[in-house]
Amino acid sequence: MKKTLIKAALTISLAVIASASFAAEKTLVFCSEGSPGGFNPSLHSAGTDFDASSQPIYNRLTEFEPGTTKVVPGLAESWTVTGGGTVYTFNLRKGVKWHSNKHFTPTRDFNADDILFSFNRQWKKDHPYHSVSGGKYLYFGWMDMGPALKSIEKVDDYTVKFTLNSPDAPFISNLAMDFASILSAEYADKMAAAGTKETVDNAPIGTGPFEFVSYKKDAVIRYKAFDAYWEGRPKIDKLIYAITTDATVRYQKLKAGECHIMPYPNAADLAAMEKDPNINLLRQEGLNVGYLGFNTSKPPFDNKIVRQALSMAIDKQAILDIVFKGSGSAAKNPIPPTMWSYNDNIVDYRYDPEIARRLLASAGIKNLKTDIWAMPVQRPYNPNARRMAELIQADWAKVGVTAEIKTFEWGEYRERIRAGEHESALLGWTGDNGDPDNFMFVLLGCAAAKSNVARWCNEEFDGLLRDAKKTSDQAERTVLYEKAQVIFKDEAPWFTIAHSVQFRPVRKEVLNFKIHPLGSHIFKYVDLK
Amino acid sequence: MFSFVIRRVALLIPIFFGVTLVSFGFIRMLPGDPVAALAGERDMTPERHAEMMARLGLDKPAWEQYFDYVWKLLHGDFGTSVLTNRPVLDEFLELFPATLELGMAAMLLAIIIGLPIGIFAAIKRGTIYDQGIMGLSLIGYSMPIFWWGLLLIILFGGIWGLTPISGRISYLFDVETVTGFLLIDTLLSGEEGAFASAVHHMILPTIVLGTIPLAIIARQTRSAMLEVLSEDYVRTARAKGLSPLRVYGLHALRNAMITVITVIGLQVGTLMAGAILTETIFSWPGIGKWIIFSVFSRDYYAVQGGLVLIAMIIMSVNLVVDLLYGLINPRIMHTNS
């Protein structure tokens, strides 16, 4: 009894301290899912790294409007595209202040030197900072920035010119990505002079809404509002990431008020979250797609009729109900509905085994024996590939197709798919920059030999994508991508399955928090009641 | 005594090399590699993959990598984490105090409760107390840590609100790291309420981590005591009319302690294994959680360096236990010499 009383007294006193300090200053606690590898988003490229570095601490030339993939001005106030889509000239924002810490107090505002430093470090192998902190610039490589860039020049302190080797409209979206965050050249120079170059990556200095305060590995990251932030000081005073790896524990912390926002809830907890009066369960389709790709280089999958028939033989709704259990929405296009140029007029193949059987017969297919490859890993766009493959196998059996399910270790799985060993394979994609090119060209373009699971090359489709790369006019590009989606649907190189739905449980006192389609957690506009 | 110590230390050398071999081989036997783990489902050209593997020194033949690894270990270099690019030893030392603090608390709990109830059960052998204690300890021993941890969190933290859900201290306190032991650092910081918060956060993880060792210690103490209590000298002691306290405390317990100390020593391994789960559930920033994450991300250097460090700690504890035997029961030392 006595112990209980002591515990109760302790709990109450801590609660009082907690509420008192809530009143004094606004502290937002985010129960993050893991520890960042580091605080330089060009070096550390997981979502957890970006949440901890690029979003609170840094800015980029262009930014994504929160909640959308629309590109808006960031550190570049405006830009012009000339030279047939190959020359991008950015007018930089003036009066943007840098953070400071115990190693560094800035003597100047942000300018063109910082842009040159941030990109050249990743691009030029002979840059004095290129090899610092391990020098793994993964995203810079993945987005093919090296081959795309011809030159980056400083025109004056507030004008920078990027010249590309060929027109590449998605380039402007690439610049809004986390890896393209802008670091301080002055800080880098100072640390180089002190012989502690790695400090630039460990004790970050940015222009973003929050200043980095401290990090205790696997425990907590602390930030404070940056008073001189160019968009205006954030409404919350302190931002705390309470690192909590287990999703069930995160939910308990959220319920107990120990944190305000949590990412990646367990599917099993969603129903309870929905009923909780203190929690708002936000949801949005993720920027991803899960699909079954037919290997069009192998007969009979080179025949469009066969692909259409097999698509009609699969009960998509059953997959959504059984495999996704409400955390997925049906996909009919290769891009998700949150992305601009999504063609909503497309009509998906209807589940109809009878017509499927007739179509197969008309194509001269009898007793087809094939395989379905199932990924060995869980992904948001495919929470259980094995189960999904079993459902498809059963559906196909109904139209006389016998399919064997195959699976390999993840690395080998992708390697064998690249080599084209499969007949049909389950895979998916999560978008990088919110540009349709990042789905269609990367996954279905003729040049994308390795990531094109369907090994599908349609000249008309590919021509539309290439035209869309050349123009930076979004309206014009939208028309081209919409047409491309029509061809895609008719040709059916994939059976499009689902877009996963992202859920973010948020306590009711949190205002203005939006789910970002790219999965980042952005707190600069968030306020607390 | 000296030659006893030397022989015990010499025995550790082959064990140390065995551990390096296992830790080196184990992580490489898993499918995938650190570069592939970083890439996820993204395409990486074989050239880029090879370049990054070379940068990490993973392109060399395995035997060369192994000798390089052992050579560096012998020079005190435990490697650099692929993921964070920090020295493995630094990461380990940053996180180890949290594991040690929790482990010591759990051990203390296990001994303080396990030892007396084990003795009590032995004295009350065959009674309902004995059966009750042994029944409970069997349950404790069989308790799956993850389930037990979540149950306590949901009950005490969630429903009754008596304890915090997870973490090491309330985020309201930003205590400067001096020793890494939060109970000490909070006292040093002088921040009001910080120590209480740290203690408060330790309650559930200590119980969860301490449950299995507690059960084992209680059971082993009981059986060791039963064995000793049936010895002639105990009967003699009783016949002499010594008080029960002297019979059990001085004559029986001292002899039973040999087994009990061995068991306590062996619990270090159990604690390390338990720490992996306990730290994950309670978001406790220790090495258990770190090792698991390093395995998932195929951080070869962190895993092999971390495992060797953990093995070294377990070996040192076992060495101390071996030496303690000698002190408690000089016959062991003499037999061996």
* Structure ipTM: 0.84
| Interface residue A216 vs chain B (CB under 8 A) | yes
Cα distance between residue A106 and residue A100, in whole Å? 6
Q: Do A256 and B161 touch (CB under 8 A)?
A: yes
Q: Which of residues 121-160 of B touch A (CB under 8 A)?
A: 150, 153-154, 157-158
| Interface residue A146 vs chain B (CB under 8 A) | no
Residue A94 is given by DSSP the state: S
How many beta carbons lie within 10 A of that of residue A68, not counting itself?
16
Average pLDDT of the residues in A86-107: 96
Kindly report, residue by residue over B187-240, the tens digit of the pLDDT: 999 888 999 999 999 999 999 999 999 999 999 999 999 998 888 888 898 888
Average pLDDT of the residues in B71-95: 91
Residue B54 has a pLDDT of: 86
Q: Return the minimum-mean-pLDDT range out of A186-200, B76-90, B243-257, B319-333.
A: B319-333
Residue A205 has a pLDDT of: 97
Residue B332 has a pLDDT of: 67
Counting residues of chain B whose pLDDT is more than 90, the rounded percentage is 47
Residue A129 has a pLDDT of: 96
Counting residues of chain A whose pLDDT is more than 70, the rounded percentage is 95
The yes-or-no verdict on residue B82 having pLDDT over 90 is no
Residue A451 has a pLDDT of: 81
Kindly report, residue by residue over A444-479, the tens digit of the pLDDT: 999 876 789 999 999 999 999 999 988 888 899 999
The yes-or-no verdict on residue B336 having pLDDT over 80 is no
Kindly report, residue by residue over A255-307, the tens digit of the pLDDT: 999 999 999 898 888 889 999 999 999 998 888 999 999 999 999 999 999 99
Q: Is the dihedral of CA A93, A97, A99, A102 positive or negative?
A: positive
Q: B62-74 and B2-29 are packed helices; what angle lies between their axes, rounded to 10 degrees?
A: 140
Cα distance between residue A34 and residue A47, in whole Å? 10
Of B39, B161, B172, the CB nearest to A17: B172
How many beta carbons lie within 10 A of that of residue B86, not counting itself?
19
Q: Identify the band that residue A359 occupies on the pLDDT scale cut at 50, 70 and 90.
A: very high
Q: How far is B171 from chain A (nearest CA, A)?
A: 8
Kindly report, residue by residue over B274-307, the tens digit of the pLDDT: 888 999 999 999 998 899 889 888 899 999 999 9
Cα distance between residue B327 and residue B316, in whole Å? 17
The yes-or-no verdict on residue A352 having pLDDT over 90 is yes
Query: What is the phi-psi region of residue A325: left when phi exceeds 0, alpha when psi lies from -120 to 50, beta otherwise?
Result: left
The yes-or-no verdict on residue A5 having pLDDT over 50 is no
- How is residue A222 written in tokens? 């602390």
Average pLDDT of the residues in B235-249: 86
Cβ proximity of B253 and B225 under 8 Å: yes
The yes-or-no verdict on residue A315 having pLDDT over 80 is yes
Residue with tokens 């200043």: A211
B92 contacts on A by Cβ (under 8 Å): none
Cβ proximity of A376 and A413 under 8 Å: yes
The yes-or-no verdict on residue A77 having pLDDT over 80 is yes
A146 contacts on B by Cβ (under 8 Å): none
Q: How far is B165 from chain A (nearest CA, A)?
A: 6
Residue A65 has a pLDDT of: 87
Residue B100 has a pLDDT of: 92
Domains of chain A: 30-242+509-528 (3.90.76.10), 288-501 (3.10.105.10)
Mean of all residue pLDDT scores within chain B: 88
C-alpha dihedral, A358 to A359 to A365 to A368, nearest 10°: -90
